[in-house]
């Protein structure tokens, strides 16, 4: 595919001019970050002398403790947050032409172009720079973070003497002067460390290999950064140098006009999980840059075959949906020890924490496109089950587990419990994802070894923390929690939470009859599980409903609050949480995000369309979408309710959130859950896909702006593609034998490689 | 009065042996603190070489900013707390006998006695110390903080050579090595300053006068400590010396056996509010120690005449009630610029902050005994009205004022808003105190110039923040606030708050018809006051009531919560707030303190006795009294309900809280509101005094442990004494002409100096 057709098909994110504004550059560093779920390099320039923004190098799950301070501290408040930290930067170079260092402070940039190739997950840049003395060089770079070798990133950096012959110095370095962004007054970003986050305790150099080893100050985690630098294309000498700020190999060459000096960097990061990273780096070098890149690109080609959504007739949205799936796929931890943070691996917003975003927003995308990844995300929760058990005890519950609202290592990091620990729905969200995973994959082995154990413990928590309320005819009630909407905190009977708990416990009860082959531990849990109580809860759980307005109430007292006057709130007062005291927000009917409406999507078959319509109409008017988790859900519901115009508007806001920087904070990282929401917007929204009793149903609606769209779905080891046009929908079973689906309410049986076209 | 009869009558707090344990010593430093509402000296030893606890020197209202840190910070969170700070210590000395310095590390203490004389507000100590070389000295000291000269403290320190003749060195110093206590994990105490709290910028010395001048680092408040040291009794030389830690005058003398060297320190503290503190100190010295002491004692003699409660038959309680009134009277700010902090001026607990404790607990005591002080406390609120107006705007209210939950200078200091800023009832508490003040004093001039203005603005706040709730038949509701009970936060329709607001707004409406002569400013407020809305609120405000249990509910959802199992909570888990996460507490029916029951005391005539009984019985079972503001209220209600045994138990816990250190934290300061509660326990409790429509009523009950008790009451410029015995009550009008009171439901007219005895 040539470049222009690639652009047209939405595979490229080009940057055609050099904008030195820090905010702009930092935003593009985020958008152009490359990672593989283990290692991440933000999209900053290679040159140490041109750092306009925030060069970030991260390992997923690699964190430092940051002490949490409280004006008043109470029992059960976490002592520390965990913060994803910025590590030494392995991609850095310094280029000097006849003694003149390439920077933007001097000389002239005659040509600049950079592009992220979404399809191949590579970042390329081409620059022509004229030094103050008139020497012109062309600098071409390309880099990737390997999708097949998780420890590896590769980079090629070429310098060509265009109009002169002369001395070139190219320094390949590991930059050590890196730290995290500090930010004081925005609760959404940043921490300030008192002390060095990490210290280097060893620098190793042998021929073309540099290695720095370091350790964090408080969490005492160790890392190694091993880089092999290979220079070619012109005769050169190499020397090693080291300061507090860097470890370098400096190549000196003399280029004849038209000659090129090339540097290949084989950059390997590990957290002491490799036997011999130096051997590994040398082995990678042996394979060579092009081979490694080809292997990487082949992985991505296959990934796209499993997940690509094609949108015809709306290039900006085609680009956006691919961009979003690209970031999700490259950011997600794939080893069961790490997860996917709210900002992917692209920035330091939310301190790199994992939230419910994973289970409710991102797992559906992975589950239907790359189910093994969805399993690993659930395994992360399984692997932190013991910490969730301790946390439940800390919160006074003598049974069950309580997962942290935000975490990296499994311990709670939320410093503001009303919009943190109080969001107990995280438990129901994880249970929901377990059920969804099982329904989509039919993976009994997972349920037998991990899923049911989690599910029972997740349910035990509700069973000891909820109460049969004598003030409500002994209905089962859940009190003093916060639902998804963080503009109303510490409420009784949050509709979302209670609905999800009903669903979760109902599923747990059903699982008891599945004849799972359980290990002794889970058998004991089953024996202790109070099935009768569970059934009572399912029967009697309280779902707040207003007879007066015929709508579900977000919580018991929601309709008692006055409605916030959104129409007369100045634009510069959004997001509200940055401008109003929590008490002011909590006293009003105003929502940060979907709450009732989200429950009605996730538990779609339990509510009538008329009920959904009334609830949607009510809550849409009072929802600010100040959270990026909101517009995608509203868009899907609007679609279900037949309001395609509203749905499409929501969809644009969702799909292009980061590309257009709608929230003005892409510089701190992408909005991963929202990106997954843009996938749901196509599949759950326009295609109307739902899963009921293990059967996929579709109710397609084509946005009038599009001519067609298509996507693959993986279910029960089968692969289905769906192509939706104005007048027909084509279903093709590409893998697996028969699959029964439901199209507009009617069952359809698909057989392998036979397309079925339906109106 | 000789010493033993003084002890018997409860005027003395003796310390007969030297207990070096820090905790014990720190507790006694609190109990034996001397102050005058402006300046305070904790009861530490004079010797710089014997500092076992925490020597504190404070000025009321003199604070440093302390930055508040939050894991997540939101708009309207205070940036800083204000902290009452520990200043240079002017009373310090160092005594050396033949080269051997008096300390507890060497030599022997042959005799030790110390006592606080509550009646005269003096602290005396007598010690015989034998140096390692066998030299014995008798050391006698006495000190006071002048009740008549607010800048002044006086001290006499005498050393007598008992069994030797030899060299004595007596160093009189201002100790500069003082700072605040830092404490990390108890939300009730302490802060840690990063920087020096204050710095000395000038040290002045001329003859016997030393002066240090300093300034706080952040609040930039200036202070001066001026000390004149006069040595007498033996020939001596004097030299001046200065280090970073102290400024000193060192007297060297040779004592013959039986001779005495005497030091008088005239210690003057000001915050640049004196013209010439050096002249002042010299003038004080001119008057002489005994004259100043006599003047001080005369002031106290008069104060006791206005307030003394005599209890016959229970010496520990006689001592306790006097001890409590003593601390209240000496701690209270009397200038309208300062107030009385939760710990008086005796320690650094709660950072020296002023709370609602003033209005609801302490003002009644002052109002009925020293009404001018009550007025000055209200003037403090008037003088910070503008800050309360700004705070209301910060919290999103476009009218009215919102007073800070905790403060020194009028700005909010609470770092945990659910049990801080959310306690909007502070507004109603201040309004209640204004009404009480007016009813007791009939001070129209106060209402015209200050009271009504405050009252209208306090009421305007409720009128814009409350709502007519369509879910509750359009009753007026107050949402998302915290009542007095801090174990249930952020609730809707707290019973206490709503009851008090009803009372407040009702009073505001009545005031509009009082023909007050108002200034233009208040006239404008009256013109803008929405009287119709106010009347609607009074008519329709929602008071949560359970028909099922026939009790008032503490808030809308209170009875939905499960009851905390107090019986099975281990003793070492109290106070609960130190052991359980707030969510755990908030989810249960468990009270830190009186809430519904407090409303039923303050608004006594609005509830039937049967209703009070049901509410008392219900809430008493679930109240931990973890707050020191609770037992006094329960004791009074128990009395009203006729349960004298329960009442008396509550009373003992109340009256001797600090003397017996029931809360294990007297070391950080006394519990001032509780002390005032012990006054209420006698007057509102056992004497059954209430004020209805300006008429005092009594329903006396004598505890069976007592033979009699008596107390004075000031009302409308009249002074009444009440003496209650088993079979009769004697009322005597000691000042003023006629006074109509009510005894056991029947009106009685009293005339000057005519005692009336009633059964």
**CA–CA separation, A262 and A312 (whole Å):** 40
* Cα end-to-end span (Å), chain A: 33
Q: In terms of Cα–Cα distance, which of A23, A88, A22, A82 is closest to A57? A: A88
Q: What is the DSSP string of A17-66?
A: S----HHHHHHHHHHT-EE-SSEEE-S--SBTT---S---EEETT-EEEE
The pLDDT score that the predictor gives to residue B3 is: 44
- Residue A718 C-alpha, separation from nearest chain B C-alpha, in angstroms: 46
- A560 to B477: CB separation less than 8 angstroms, yes or no: yes
**CA–CA separation, B125 and B496 (whole Å):** 47
What secondary structure letter does DSSP report for B716? T
Q: In terms of Cα–Cα distance, which of A180, A231, A222, A187 is closest to A201? A: A222
The pLDDT score that the predictor gives to residue B182 is: 76
- Same fold across A35-304 and A308-686: no
- B586 to A470: CB separation less than 8 angstroms, yes or no: no
CB of B477 within 8 Å of a chain A CB? The answer is yes
Q: Which of B479, B490, B579 sits opposite A560 (nearest CB)?
A: B479
Q: Which of A72, A396, A489 sits opposite B584 (nearest CB)?
A: A396
Taking the CB of residue A429, how many other CB atoms lie within 10 A of it?
Answer: 27
CA dihedral angle for residue B250, residue B251, residue B255, residue B260, rounded to 10 degrees: -100
**CA–CA separation, B377 and B433 (whole Å):** 10
Q: Which of A490, A546, A580 sits opposite B396 (nearest CB)?
A: A580
Residue A6 has pLDDT above 80, yes or no: no
- B74 to A548: CB separation less than 8 angstroms, yes or no: no
**Chain B residues touching residue A576 (CB < 8 angstroms):** none
Question: Does this model's pTM top 0.90?
Answer: yes
Active-site amino acid positions of A = 486
Task: Select A35-304's CATH number: 3.40.109.10, 1.10.645.10, 2.70.98.40, 3.30.43.10.
Answer: 2.70.98.40
Residue B190 has pLDDT above 80, yes or no: no
CB of A558 within 8 Å of a chain B CB? The answer is no
Tokens representing A71? 């004006």
Render pLDDT for A289-325 as a digit per residue (tens, 0 to 9).
999 999 999 999 999 999 999 999 999 999 999 999 9
Residue B9 has pLDDT above 80, yes or no: no
Beta carbons within 8 Å of A85's beta carbon, 6+ residues apart: A58, A62, A63, A64, A180, A197, A198, A216
CATH classification code of B38-304: 2.70.98.40
Residue B689 has pLDDT above 70, yes or no: yes
3-class DSSP state of B598: helix
The pLDDT score that the predictor gives to residue B1 is: 38
Lowest mean pLDDT among A111-125, A159-173, B19-33, B273-287: B19-33
For residue B582, give Cα distances in angstroms to A24, A76, A77, A410, A458: 43, 8, 9, 21, 22
Tokens representing B210? 């030393």
Q: Which of B48, B457, B486, B600 is catalytic?
A: B486
The pLDDT score that the predictor gives to residue A195 is: 80
Q: What is the DSSP string of B102-142?
A: --SSSSEEEEEEEEEETTTTEEEEEEEEE-TTS-EEEEEEE
What secondary structure letter does DSSP report for A574? -
3-class DSSP state of A168: strand
**Chain A residues touching residue B590 (CB < 8 angstroms):** none
Is A597 within 8 Å of A634 (Cβ atoms)?
Answer: yes
Q: In terms of Cα–Cα distance, which of A90, A108, A225, A58 is closest to A154? A: A90
Residue of B nearest to A77 (CA): B581
3-class DSSP state of A628: coil
Please, which pLDDT band fits residue A608 given cuts at 50, 70 and 90? very high
CB of B465 within 8 Å of a chain A CB? The answer is yes
**CA–CA separation, B387 and B197 (whole Å):** 25
* Rounded mean pLDDT, A3-17: 76
Residue B8 has pLDDT above 90, yes or no: no
* Cα end-to-end span (Å), chain B: 33
CB of A559 within 8 Å of a chain B CB? The answer is yes
C-alpha angle with apex A115: A110 to A119, nearest 5 degrees? 160
- A583 to B395: CB separation less than 8 angstroms, yes or no: yes
Q: In terms of Cα–Cα distance, which of A268, A299, A270 is closest to A285? A: A268
The pLDDT score that the predictor gives to residue B19 is: 84
Please, which pLDDT band fits residue A138 given cuts at 50, 70 and 90? very high
Is A468 within 8 Å of A474 (Cβ atoms)?
Answer: yes
C-alpha angle with apex A249: A248 to A254, nearest 5 degrees? 135
* Rounded mean pLDDT, A487-503: 98
Is A453 within 8 Å of A522 (Cβ atoms)?
Answer: yes
**CA–CA separation, A443 and A435 (whole Å):** 11
Please, which pLDDT band fits residue B186 given cuts at 50, 70 and 90? low
Tokens representing B250? 């060192």
- A72 to B556: CB separation less than 8 angstroms, yes or no: no
- Residue A392 C-alpha, separation from nearest chain B C-alpha, in angstroms: 11
Angle between helices A315-331 and A289-307 (to 10 degrees): 110
Q: In terms of Cα–Cα distance, which of B644, B740, B750 is closest to B700? A: B644
Residue B6 has pLDDT above 90, yes or no: no
- A492 to B557: CB separation less than 8 angstroms, yes or no: yes
Q: Which of A72, A416, A471 sits opposite B560 (nearest CB)?
A: A471
Please, which pLDDT band fits residue B678 given cuts at 50, 70 and 90? very high
Tokens representing A479? 């009190």
Q: HSE on the CB side for A30, CA within 13 Å? A: 25
**Chain B residues touching residue A559 (CB < 8 angstroms):** 470-471
Q: HSE on the CB side for B329, CA within 13 Å? A: 29
Considering Cα of B509, then B510, then B513, then B519, what sign does the dihedral take? negative
Taking the CB of residue A336, how many other CB atoms lie within 10 A of it?
Answer: 16
**Chain B residues touching residue A183 (CB < 8 angstroms):** none
Residue A431 has pLDDT above 70, yes or no: yes
- Percent of the residues in chain B that have a pLDDT greater than 90, as a whole number: 94
Render pLDDT for B444-503 as a digit per residue (tens, 0 to 9).
999 999 999 999 999 999 999 999 999 999 999 999 999 999 999 999 999 999 999 999
Between residues A368 and B71, which one has the greater pLDDT? A368
Render pLDDT for A67-121 as a digit per residue (tens, 0 to 9).
998 888 999 999 999 999 999 999 999 999 999 999 988 999 999 999 999 999 9
Q: What are phi and psi of A424, to 5 degrees?
A: -55, -15
Please count the residues of chain B: 759
Q: What is the DSSP string of A708-734?
A: EEEEEEEETTEEEEEEEESS-EEEEEE
A-B Cβ pairs (cutoff 8 Å, strict): 159
Q: Where are the beta strands (DSSP E) in A537-629?
A: 545-546, 551-552
Residue B217 has pLDDT above 60, yes or no: yes
Residue B307: its H or E element: helix B289-307
Residue B60 CA to its chain's centroid (Å):
11
- Give the start-to-end residue ranges of the domains of chain A: 35-304, 308-686
**Chain B residues touching residue A77 (CB < 8 angstroms):** 581
Q: Which of B471, B560, B587 sits opposite A560 (nearest CB)?
A: B471
- Chain B, 580 to 609: residues with Cβ < 8 Å from chain A are 580-584, 586-587
**CA–CA separation, A198 and A195 (whole Å):** 9
**Chain B residues touching residue A577 (CB < 8 angstroms):** 74-75
Render pLDDT for A402-426 as a digit per residue (tens, 0 to 9).
999 999 999 999 999 999 999 999 9
For residue B254, give Cα distances in angstroms to A175, B103, B128, B166: 73, 20, 19, 5
Residue B189 has pLDDT above 70, yes or no: no
Render pLDDT for B77-125 as a digit per residue (tens, 0 to 9).
999 999 999 999 999 999 999 999 999 889 999 999 999 999 999 999 9
Is A225 within 8 Å of A267 (Cβ atoms)?
Answer: yes
Q: In terms of Cα–Cα distance, which of B63, B246, B274 is closest to B152? A: B274
Q: In terms of Cα–Cα distance, which of B378, B333, B370, B372 is closest to B353? A: B333
Task: Select B308-686's CATH number: 1.50.10.10, 2.102.10.10, 3.90.580.10, 3.20.20.80.
Answer: 1.50.10.10
Render pLDDT for A174-224 as a digit per residue (tens, 0 to 9).
999 999 987 655 655 667 787 889 999 999 999 999 999 999 999 999 999
**Chain A residues touching residue B421 (CB < 8 angstroms):** 581, 583
CB neighbour burial string for A139-167, b if at least 16 within 10 angstroms, e if fewer: bbbbbbbbbebbbbbbbbbbbbbbebebe
- A76 to B471: CB separation less than 8 angstroms, yes or no: no
- A581 to B396: CB separation less than 8 angstroms, yes or no: yes
Peptide bond into B467 cis (omega under 30): no
- Percent of the residues in chain A that have a pLDDT greater than 70, as a whole number: 98
Q: Which of A69, A77, A467 sits opposite B562 (nearest CB)?
A: A467
CA dihedral angle for residue B555, residue B556, residue B561, residue B567, rounded to 10 degrees: 30
CA dihedral angle for residue A587, residue A591, residue A592, residue A595, rounded to 10 degrees: 120
**CA–CA separation, A742 and A335 (whole Å):** 35
C-alpha angle with apex A252: A251 to A256, nearest 5 degrees? 125
Strand B695-698 versus strand B739-743 pairing type: parallel
- B73 to A187: CB separation less than 8 angstroms, yes or no: yes
Residue A568 has pLDDT above 90, yes or no: yes
């Amino acid at each position: 595919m040539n470049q222009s057709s690639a652009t047209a098909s939405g595979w490229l994110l080009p940057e055609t001019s050099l904008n030195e504004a820090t905010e702009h550059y930092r935003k593009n560093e985020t958008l152009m970050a490359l990672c593989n779920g283990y290692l991440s390099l933000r999209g900053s320039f290679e040159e140490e002398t041109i750092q306009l923004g925030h060069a970030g190098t991260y390992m997923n799950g690699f964190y430092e403790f940051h002490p949490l301070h409280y004006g008043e501290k109470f029992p059960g408040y976490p002592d520390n947050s965990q913060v994803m930290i910025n590590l030494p930067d392995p991609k850095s170079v310094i280029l000097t032409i006849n003694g003149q260092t390439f920077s933007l402070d001097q000389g002239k940039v005659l040509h600049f172009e950079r592009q992220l190739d979404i399809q191949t997950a590579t970042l390329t840049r081409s620059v022509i720079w004229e030094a103050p003395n008139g020497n012109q060089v062309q600098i071409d770079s390309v880099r990737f973070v390997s999708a097949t070798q998780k420890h590896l990133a590769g980079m090629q950096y070429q310098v060509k003497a265009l109009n002169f012959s002369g001395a070139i110095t190219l320094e390949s370095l590991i930059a050590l002067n890196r730290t995290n962004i500090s930010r004081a007054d925005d609760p959404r970003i940043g921490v300030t460390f008192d002390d060095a986050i990490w210290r280097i305790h060893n620098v190793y150099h042998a021929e073309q290999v540099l290695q720095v080893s370091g350790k964090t100050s408080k969490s005492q985690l160790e890392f190694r950064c091993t880089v092999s630098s290979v220079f070619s294309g012109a005769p050169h000498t190499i020397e090693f140098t080291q300061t507090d700020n860097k470890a370098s190999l400096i190549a000196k060459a003399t280029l004849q006009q038209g000659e090129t000096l090339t540097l290949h960097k084989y950059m390997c990061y590990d957290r002491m999980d490799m036997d011999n990273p130096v051997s590994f780096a040398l082995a990678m070098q042996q394979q060579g840059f092009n081979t490694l890149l080809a292997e990487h690109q082949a992985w991505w080609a296959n990934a796209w075959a499993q997940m690509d959504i094609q949108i015809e007739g709306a290039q900006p949205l085609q680009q956006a949906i691919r961009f979003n799936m690209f970031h999700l796929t490259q950011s997600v931890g794939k080893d069961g020890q790490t997860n996917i943070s709210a900002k992917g691996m692209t920035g330091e917003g939310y301190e790199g924490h994992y939230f419910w975003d994973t289970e409710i927003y991102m797992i559906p995308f992975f589950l239907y496109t790359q189910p093994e990844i969805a399993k690993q995300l659930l395994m992360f929760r399984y692997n932190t089950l013991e910490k969730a058990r301790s946390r439940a005890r800390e919160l006074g519950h003598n049974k069950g587990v309580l997962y942290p609202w935000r975490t990296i290592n499994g311990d709670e990091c939320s410093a503001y419990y009303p919009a943190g620990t109080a969001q107990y729905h995280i438990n129901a969200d994880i249970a929901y994802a377990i059920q969804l995973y099982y329904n989509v994959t039919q993976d009994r082995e997972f349920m037998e070894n991990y899923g049911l154990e989690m599910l029972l413990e997740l349910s035990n928590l509700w069973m000891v923390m909820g109460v049969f309320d004598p003030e409500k005819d002994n209905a089962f009630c859940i009190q003093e929690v916060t639902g998804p909407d963080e503009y109303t905190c510490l409420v009784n009977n949050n509709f979302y939470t209670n609905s999800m708990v009903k669903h979760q416990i109902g599923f747990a009860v059903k699982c008891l009859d599945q004849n799972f082959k359980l290990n002794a531990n889970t058998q004991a849990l089953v024996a202790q599980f109070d099935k009768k109580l569970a059934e009572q809860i399912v029967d009697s759980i309280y779902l707040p409903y207003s007879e007066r307005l015929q709508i579900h109430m977000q919580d018991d007292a929601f309709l008692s609050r006055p409605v916030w006057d959104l129409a007369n709130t100045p634009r510069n007062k959004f997001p509200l949480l940055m401008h109003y005291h929590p008490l002011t927000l909590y006293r009003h009917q105003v929502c940060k995000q979907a709450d009732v409406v989200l429950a009605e999507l996730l538990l779609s078959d339990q509510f009538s369309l008329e009920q959904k319509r009334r609830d949607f109409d009510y809550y849409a008017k009072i929802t600010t979408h100040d959270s990026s988790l909101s517009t995608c859900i509203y868009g899907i519901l609007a679609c279900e309710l037949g309001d395609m115009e509203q749905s499409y508007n929501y969809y644009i806001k969702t799909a292009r959130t980061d590309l257009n920087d709608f929230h003005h904070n892409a510089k701190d990282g992408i909005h991963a859950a929202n990106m997954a929401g843009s996938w749901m917007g196509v599949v759950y929204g326009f295609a109307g896909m739902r899963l009921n009793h293990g059967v996929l149903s579709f109710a397609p609606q084509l946005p009038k702006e599009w001519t067609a769209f298509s996507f693959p779905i993986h279910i029960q080891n089968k692969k289905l593609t769906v192509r939706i046009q104005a007048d027909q929908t084509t279903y093709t079973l590409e893998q697996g034998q028969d699959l029964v689906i439901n199209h507009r309410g009617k069952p359809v049986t698909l057989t392998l490689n036979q397309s079925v076209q339906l109106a």
